[in-house]
A and B are shown apart, each in its own frame.
Chain A
Amino acid sequence: MEKKDIIQSFKDSLFTGLIALALFGPIVGLRTASKGEGLFITPQWGIVFLLVGLCILGRFLINLNSARKTEITFFSKFTSKFSAITEDKAKHFAITAILFAVVFPFLPFTDRYFMDVAIMILTYIMLGWGLNIVVGLAGLLDLGYVAFYAVGAYSYALIATTFGWSFWICLPLAGVFAAFFGILLGFPVLRLRGDYLAIVTLGFGEIIRIILINWYEVTNGPDGITGIPRPSFFGLPFKRSPDEGETSFHLFFNLEYSTMHRIIFLYYLILVLALITNYFTLKIRKLPVGRAWEALREDEIACKSLGVNPTNTKLTAFAIGAMFGGFAGSFFATRQAFISPESFTFIESAIIVAIVVLGGMGSQTGVVLASIFLIGITEMFRDLEQYRMIAFGGAMVLIMVFKPKGILANRKPTILMHGDKK
């Protein structure tokens, strides 16, 4: 590398530091603390200089790396190797991953905390797979996906608490309701693309949340819905002491009562739901409607010139994506036993979109990796409390810097004429 390049990148880094100073200075540097009466500003310049220094160093390293013209950093090497493995042995990789997921609850180090994190990651994987149909395949940027998650959760909660129907009846109903809302959103946005579509879907997500807050008679407003029934194991509830005339899970199987039974059951429930979503997506991608979705993403005008009906194609994408969001929503409701509009804020939509985009648009495996990476990292830094969002942002920046097209961005054709050459 030439000396000129180094000086250039050094200048660039200093400029980055200047921007960082302008940002961190007031935000981090000036801390308000209440002492006695009134607020006082306590400056904390040490941490500001640390952060600015980190920014300068980071920028300098990135510059050095790109000046070399070849990516030789550890991270990109690792990920490209990883994509090579997942490409060549896609089937083996998937089977290994599923096997691991199946035995996970019985591994020696697995405790309650791990199970909860795993359930959360699986929920995001399922949501990511559902949104992948809309964003990854059909190319419709939907920033209000959480609305369908909310519709699913509230449909389940309302039906289950009002009529007392079982989880297995409410689940498909919640899916149908969510799909209906998907079509409802689909109609007004049919003509929109790109930024405009993103804005309208964002608004739709907020509309649903605000309705949930304000329609007090039905949704119980900000207080949320409590006492949502837990799912049962084919009619066997997970209770220590079952009601009269009922047998509970641990009595039926002659086991010691443990709260873990229910957690493990929930884990398998979301695993199966997620795998169904994945299977369905992989199948439908190879059908005419799936190919039409991708064609629509590539070029809508060309689609019209070939006689593909864009209205129906978009609406099916919205409806099916929303349906899986609804399934995930009812799972969320039954797991929490309590839902309120607070669980369905914009940040949820943003996380799901981030998972899909960072995973590599349209890549099913990418969604899994991005979910584990983003949710896992955020969980690992839980002790840092509010600062853990920095870890979340940092993870996103890392992926964007080293893998701008997403972790796994390789698309495989849905049908081959010459068969698999490998």
Chain B
Amino acid sequence: MNNLLSVENLTMKFGGLTAIDDLSFDAKNNQITSIIGPNGAGKTTVFNCLTGFYKPTNGQMFLHKEDSKISLRKYTDFKIAYVAKVARTFQNIRLFPAMSVLENLLVAQHNELMVASGYSLFGLLNLKTYRDKEQLAVDKAKYWLDIIGLTHRADDNAGDLPYGDQRKLEIVRAMCIEPRLLCLDEPAAGLNPKESAELNKLLKFIKTEKQTGILLIEHDMSVVMGISDHVVVLNYGKKIFEGTADQTKNSKEVIEAYLGADE
């Protein structure tokens, strides 16, 4: 199994506060790697470094391709998604609420469609090449909507969907950019047990069928323990444990971090 992502000595400081302290871990292809830890452990900061929202103080992050590797530090902002193909979702859902579900999925395919529309020129002339490409994009959106069972609501505003459906929509929207690494920030937050189970199914599907590596931040242990291949535990910005889900459950350090040590 090949490495997909290697994080090496990642450090992020905000003034005097060290949010991430010398963190190193790997994530493999076709695996779900979970990052867990108590609140304020620096999990979301790791994501923000990986996805170009923060520039790390120190350290390297590499995304491996077949025989080459690219440094994620070089890309900032939108290029992480556009060039490096790292997609993410957010802790507080960030859909385009006043746009329809289908439009949300088409914005995710913006760059291909932009080229297809000849940077709007072919589109304005209504050429067939563009219309065909647009149809392909709609088909791709329909494919994902079929999977999460939202096809019948494709023309409704994304903001009108129930909370659980919005979570799923945000994940498939990220999948529409065909990422190599998908970073999910607490996808199960606020979901009921039935919805969590559906989410597990969706993530397993993405992992096996789409050959996409998934990096997961989650507090819901039923999700973490149910689907993670690999678990990284953070506390105060430091890695305190790394291993499989079962090993993590029984680790003394992890239990101490969550529940406190015996005096």
Residues of A at under 8 Å CB distance from B? 280, 283-284, 286-289, 291-292, 294-295, 298-299, 301-310, 411, 413-418
Contact A306 B174 (CB under 8 A): yes
Q: Does B23 sit within 8 A of A, measured CB to CB?
A: no
The distance in angstroms between the C-alpha atoms of A381 and B87, with both chains bound, is: 57
Contact A291 B103 (CB under 8 A): yes
Contact B110 A306 (CB under 8 A): yes
Contact B95 A413 (CB under 8 A): no
Question: Which residue of chain B has its CB nearest to the CB of A421?
Answer: B155
Residues of B within 8 A of A280 (CB): 124
Residues of B within 8 A of A292 (CB): 107, 110, 114
Chain B 43-67, CB-CB to A under 8 Å as 1, else 0, gives 0000000011100000000000000
Contact B94 A413 (CB under 8 A): no
A and B contact pairs by CB, cutoff 8 A, 11 listed: A292-B107, A301-B94, A305-B80, A305-B90, A306-B107, A306-B173, A307-B79, A309-B78, A310-B77, A415-B103, A417-B151
The distance in angstroms between the C-alpha atoms of A418 and B153, with both chains bound, is: 9
Beyond contacts A291-B106, A302-B94: 17 other A-B pairs, Cβ-Cβ < 8 A, are A287-B124, A288-B117, A289-B117, A291-B107, A291-B110, A292-B110, A292-B114, A295-B96, A295-B110, A301-B94, A302-B90, A305-B78, A307-B78, A307-B80, A307-B177, A417-B141, A418-B155
What is the CB-to-nearest-CB distance from B86 to chain A, in angstroms, rounded to a whole number?
Answer: 9
Contact A298 B98 (CB under 8 A): yes
Chain B 90-125, CB-CB to A under 8 Å as 1, else 0, gives 100011111110110011101101101101100110
Instruction: Tell me whether A304 and B98 are in contact in the complex, defined as CB-CB below 8 angstroms, given that A289-B114, A417-B142 are known contacts.
Output: no
Interface centre among A286, A299, A303, A306, by most chain B C-beta atoms within 10 angstroms, is A306
The distance in angstroms between the C-alpha atoms of A304 and B97, with both chains bound, is: 16
Contact B98 A417 (CB under 8 A): no
Residues of A within 8 A of B119 (CB): 289
Interface centre among A284, A289, A301, by most chain B C-beta atoms within 10 angstroms, is A289
Contact B100 A305 (CB under 8 A): no
The distance in angstroms between the C-alpha atoms of A415 and B123, with both chains bound, is: 14
Contact B138 A415 (CB under 8 A): yes
The 9 closest A-B pairs by CB, nearest first: A307-B81, A307-B82, A298-B96, A413-B100, A417-B154, A302-B94, A288-B113, A287-B123, A295-B107
Residues of A within 8 A of B168 (CB): none
**CB < 8 Å neighbour of B155 from A288, A299, A416:** A416
Instruction: Tell me whether A417 and B110 are in contact in the complex, defined as CB-CB below 8 angstroms, given that A298-B96, A298-B99, A307-B78 are known contacts.
Output: no
The distance in angstroms between the C-alpha atoms of A171 and B112, with both chains bound, is: 34
Question: Which residue of chain B has its CB nearest to the CB of A283?
Answer: B124
The distance in angstroms between the C-alpha atoms of A397 and B94, with both chains bound, is: 34
Contact B114 A288 (CB under 8 A): yes
What is the CB-to-nearest-CB distance from A390 to chain B, in angstroms, rounded to a whole number?
Answer: 35
Instruction: Tell me whether A308 and B94 are in contact in the complex, defined as CB-CB below 8 angstroms, given that A287-B123, A287-B124 are known contacts.
Output: no
**CB < 8 Å neighbour of B107 from A301, A303, A309, A418:** A303
Interface centre among A305, A308, A310, A414, by most chain B C-beta atoms within 10 angstroms, is A305
Residues of B within 8 A of A298 (CB): 95-99
